[in-house]
Amino acid sequence: MLHLTLYELARYEPDTIPSERFNRLVRVEAAEVLEMRDPNEGQGGGPETKSRHQYVRAGGMIWRRRLPADSVGDEWRLQPGDEDPARWELLDGDGHVRNPLTGLDRGGSRTRSVIDVYAEEAHDHPLVIVERQVMVTLDGDDREVCIRGEYVSAEKNQIELLAGPCVGAWWDVPLPPCPDCGGEIVWAEAGYVPGTRRCVACGSRFSVQTTAAL
């Protein structure tokens, strides 16, 4: 467990047992995740009625997502075209987030928040990376990639997309849309090497792998 983070959480809500706190440390798969809730959100009074802001450290950076209240579940009721707040996203800037419960100190400086403590203490997790799958030509003299169903030189067409932190099984991490057409990238290992993925819309082929935790 992350002892300094737990200590900071106890300071925010003294004389409150952990299960009744608005801010707590939870386990998601194998990761220790910082979960925070705004007590002023919505109509209900208890933490189970507030949406959950979660933070995880991966690859030396802080990622966040927002889940519905416990009373609703883990999935948002989205309309077509809506962005899913439950998907992990990288925090902008240096990864420091001012906690709304602490704000700024009297001198106007940013108060060190529990997220800062967590960022320094949390264990890293590997990242899931999506690249174009590189294939060697039959004569062995060139390397190619498949873009929109056509084979072109890999030399100037390689890309690297960040899918997100691997806090559980790496194959369960949601993949970004296809960079060539915006279509969905799906599993395609049948007949190909492990980690092969392809776009269902345009046929571009990719390879998924994890990085070492930094």
Contact 78, 84 (CB under 8 A): yes
Alpha helix stretches (DSSP H) within the chain: 3-12, 114-121
Helix (H, G, I), strand (E, B) or coil at 100: coil
pLDDT at residue number 161: 82
Question: Cα angle at 206 between 141 and 95, to 5 degrees?
Answer: 120
8: pLDDT confidence band, cut at 50, 70 and 90? confident
The mean pLDDT of 65-70, rounded to a whole number, is: 91
Greater model confidence, 96 or 78: 78
* Domain boundaries, given as residue ranges, for the chain: 3-121, 127-210
pTM to 2 decimal places = 0.61
